[in-house]
């Protein structure tokens, strides 16, 4: 009995269709009936054969429409997460920042006891100064006394002295009123002016225009770029900015930047690390650019060789953009820079939210690893970064309305930017503090002296790393004395009458002195003519003498 009952149950389960399938079939049958009724009402005047064909074609088209609509819905569902990730959002999350992987093992720092001259010779070795001497002698006229490497080193030291003790005219250093014995004992005025006139750092190019400075410094700039990178060890922080070499003369590459302290001059792109100049590029006007733009290409050229080391680049709003951030991240370089609000790819933050911020308040938007921070200080500052997580906060010291320093809150990226982006500005401050070089009508000397002074500043940065109390003035004083000592004694000026003679002795001991007593002139008494009386006596001899010929004749005969 039990076996027959179980067999009946199994047969019933086997013959019964699943509940879900039965419901689906009933629903589909009902929909087909409804479709047929509607189609019959619309096609009463048509033929039966056409009705059957139309129903078949409509059924096929409905099936295709349903399948295509389902595929579109699936694509939208799959694309929804990707679109959400690609949009700027106010929901912040932490990011993974890889540690720096600096590969500078081939850079050997100079010995700690290196003198300022030894550090300068890393960038201006005697071999390079020998080239300067050859170019200078080639530019000088026939009969010129050829200059040498020691004389050019001393010539550079004289310019360091003039940068510290500055006079408006060069010839004033040899004048009786403002003369400096340190310079007059090393150079005669005429020799120094000749060196200043014919000094060259590159070979003379006959086809180069007088107002175009680039041909006159191009080879020197290439050599210094190589030596700066070879002897400098950058940290994980890099700064890219523009420096201005002040110049108001005529030149086709002269620029005007109103935000700079020196608004007119040559624009130079500078890449630095810890106030050490690593690389520079002189702006020579508009150039052919790629689809990403000329500024994008400039950044990529300046950072060539620093890829994959997870450096953090600090840049201002002239360079920063979301496209640059993505490109640098692919090359293993992080970015932190002020950015313009209208850059392509920036988030759309309502203006009323920005204007509602008070000092020390900020808002942020994040997209992947990139974050845009809008921080209010005295003005609103926009910052784009991916070198740290957006949730990290910090503070900055600011002046309030009463002249006191107060701590103002800010994202950590804001503080990093304030301390990391000013490296190039520090180089400009060091340069203009003791400006070398003299005014010239030609366009290239000002640029050449900027290059030479960058060698001095980089040497100072290497020297200050091992010094307990670094100071640029002290370094320049020590370097100046070392450079001036390079001049051999035979090249120093020899002046006639250097030893004190009879005239110096007369001035020292024998001089006229006025008295109340009247006496006969001692010199006039030797003559046969009538004697003359005088109230003037010689302070040493004590005899009365007439002022003028009698005084000089008496002592010349004595």
DSSP 115-150: -HHHHHTTTS-HHHHHHHHHHHHHHSPTTPPPP-HH
Whether residue 142 is predicted with pLDDT greater than 90 in this model: the reply is no
Please give the average per-residue pLDDT across 466-478, as a whole number. 85
Whether residue 56 is predicted with pLDDT greater than 60 in this model: the reply is no
Mean pLDDT for the chain overall: 81
Q: Are strands 533-538 and 512-520 parallel, antiparallel or unpaired?
A: antiparallel
Model confidence pLDDT, tens digit, residues 343-387: 999 999 999 999 999 999 999 999 999 999 999 998 999 999 999
> Structure tokens of 394?
């910090």
CATH of 214-345+413-472, one of 1.10.1740, 3.40.1280, 3.10.510, 3.30.420: 3.30.420
Please give the average per-residue pLDDT across 19-24, as a whole number. 41
Whether residue 214 is predicted with pLDDT greater than 90 in this model: the reply is no
Residue 210, pLDDT score: 67
Model confidence pLDDT, tens digit, residues 391-446: 999 999 988 888 888 899 999 999 999 999 999 999 999 999 999 888 777 888 99
Among 31-35, 182-186, 480-484, 491-495, whose mean pLDDT is lowest?
31-35
Percent of the chain past pLDDT 90, that is, above it, reads 48
Model confidence pLDDT, tens digit, residues 516-539: 788 888 878 776 566 788 888 888
Q: How many angstroms separate the CA atoms of 182 and 174, rounded?
A: 10
Model confidence pLDDT, tens digit, residues 144-191: 999 999 999 999 999 999 999 999 899 999 988 888 888 888 999 999
Residue 495, pLDDT score: 58
Q: How many angstroms separate the CA atoms of 473 and 417, rounded?
A: 28
382 beta partners: 374
Model confidence pLDDT, tens digit, residues 191-203: 999 999 999 999 8
Residue 558, pLDDT score: 52
Please give the average per-residue pLDDT across 22-27, as a whole number. 45
What is the per-residue DSSP string for 378-447?
A: SSEEEEEE-SS-TT-EEEEEEE-TTS-EEEEEEEHHHHHHHHHTTHHHHHHHHHHHT--S---SSSSHHH
Answer yes or no: are the C-beta atoms of 216 and 158 closer than 8 Å. Answer: no
Distances 342 to 83, 84, 339, 382 between C-alpha atoms, Å: 22, 22, 9, 11
Q: How many angstroms separate the CA atoms of 197 and 139, rounded?
A: 9
Helices (H), 167-248: 181-184, 189-198, 214-231
CA-wise closest residue to 283 among 298, 267, 296: 267
> Structure tokens of 177?
């009123």
What is the per-residue DSSP string for 314-356?
A: EE-TTT--HHHHHHHHHTTEEEEEE--TTSTT-----HHHHHT
Neighbouring CB atoms inside 10 A of 356's CB total: 11
Structure-token match 């910052």, residue found: 383
Answer yes or no: are the C-beta atoms of 92 and 371 closer than 8 Å. Answer: yes
Q: How many angstroms separate the CA atoms of 173 and 179, rounded?
A: 5
Residue 11, pLDDT score: 40
Strands (E), 427-525: 512-520
Whether residue 551 is predicted with pLDDT greater than 90 in this model: the reply is no
Q: How many angstroms separate the CA atoms of 38 and 503, rounded?
A: 137
Please give the average per-residue pLDDT across 315-335, as a whole number. 94
Residue 474, pLDDT score: 92
Whether residue 120 is predicted with pLDDT greater than 50 in this model: the reply is yes
Residue 179, pLDDT score: 84
Whether residue 54 is predicted with pLDDT greater than 80 in this model: the reply is no
Whether residue 96 is predicted with pLDDT greater than 50 in this model: the reply is yes
Answer yes or no: are the C-beta atoms of 484 and 158 closer than 8 Å. Answer: yes
Residue 333, pLDDT score: 94
């Amino acid at each position: 009995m039990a076996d027959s009952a179980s067999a009946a149950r199994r047969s019933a389960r086997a013959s019964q269709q699943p509940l879900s399938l039965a419901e689906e079939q009933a629903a589909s049958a009902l929909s087909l009936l409804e479709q047929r009724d509607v189609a019959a009402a619309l096609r009463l005047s048509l033929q039966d054969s056409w009705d059957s064909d139309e129903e078949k074609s409509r059924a096929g088209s409905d099936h295709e429409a349903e399948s295509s609509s389902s595929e579109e819905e699936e694509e939208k569902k799959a694309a929804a997460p990707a679109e959400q990730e690609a949009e700027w959002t106010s929901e912040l999350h932490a990011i993974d920042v890889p540690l720096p992987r600096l590969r500078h093992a081939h850079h050997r720092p100079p010995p700690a006891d290196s003198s300022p001259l030894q550090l300068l010779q890393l960038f201006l070795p005697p071999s390079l100064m020998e080239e300067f001497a050859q170019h200078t002698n080639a530019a000088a006229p026939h009969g010129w006394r050829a200059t040498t490497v020691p004389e050019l080193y001393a010539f550079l030291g004289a310019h360091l002295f003039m940068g510290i003790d500055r006079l408006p005219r060069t010839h004033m250093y040899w004048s009786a009123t403002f003369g400096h014995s340190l310079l007059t004992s090393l150079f005669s005025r005429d020799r120094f002016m000749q060196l200043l006139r014919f000094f060259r750092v590159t070979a003379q190019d006959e086809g180069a225009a007088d107002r175009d400075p680039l041909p006159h410094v191009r080879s020197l700039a290439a050599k210094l770029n190589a030596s700066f990178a070879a002897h400098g060890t950058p940290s994980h922080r890099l700064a890219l900015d523009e420096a201005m070499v002040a110049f108001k003369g005529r030149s086709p590459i002269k620029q005007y930047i109103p935000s700079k302290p020196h608004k007119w001059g040559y624009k130079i792109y500078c890449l630095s690390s810890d106030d050490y100049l690593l690389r520079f590029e002189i702006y020579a006007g508009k150039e052919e650019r790629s689809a990403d733009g000329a500024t994008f290409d400039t950044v990529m050229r300046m950072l060539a060789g620093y890829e994959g080391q997870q450096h953090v680049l600090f840049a201002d709003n002239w360079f920063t953009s979301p496209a640059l951030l993505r490109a640098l991240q692919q090359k293993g370089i992080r970015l932190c820079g002020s950015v313009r609000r209208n850059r392509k790819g920036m988030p759309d933050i309502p203006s009323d939210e920005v204007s509602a911020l008070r000092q020390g308040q900020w808002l942020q938007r994040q997209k992947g690893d990139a974050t845009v921070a809008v921080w209010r200080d005295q003005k609103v500052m926009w910052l784009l970064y991916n070198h740290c997580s957006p949730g990290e906060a910090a503070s900055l010291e600011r002046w309030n309305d009463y002249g006191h320093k107060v701590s103002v809150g800010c994202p950590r990226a804001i503080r990093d930017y304030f301390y990391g982006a000013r490296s190039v500005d520090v180089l400009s401050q060091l340069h203009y503090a003791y400006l070398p070089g003299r005014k010239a009508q030609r366009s290239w000397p000002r640029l050449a002296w900027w290059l030479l002074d960058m060698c001095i500043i980089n040497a100072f940065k290497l020297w200050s790393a091992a010094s307990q109390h670094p100071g640029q003035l002290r370094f320049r004083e020590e370097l100046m004395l070392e450079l001036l000592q390079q001049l051999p004694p035979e090249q120093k000026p020899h002046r006639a009458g250097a030893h004190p003679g009879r005239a110096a002795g007369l001035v020292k001991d024998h001089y006229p002195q006025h008295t109340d007593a009247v006496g006969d002139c001692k010199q006039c008494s030797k003559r046969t003519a009538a004697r003359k009386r005088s109230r003037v006596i010689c302070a040493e001899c004590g005899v009365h003498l007439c002022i003028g010929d009698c005084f000089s004749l008496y002592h010349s005969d004595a």
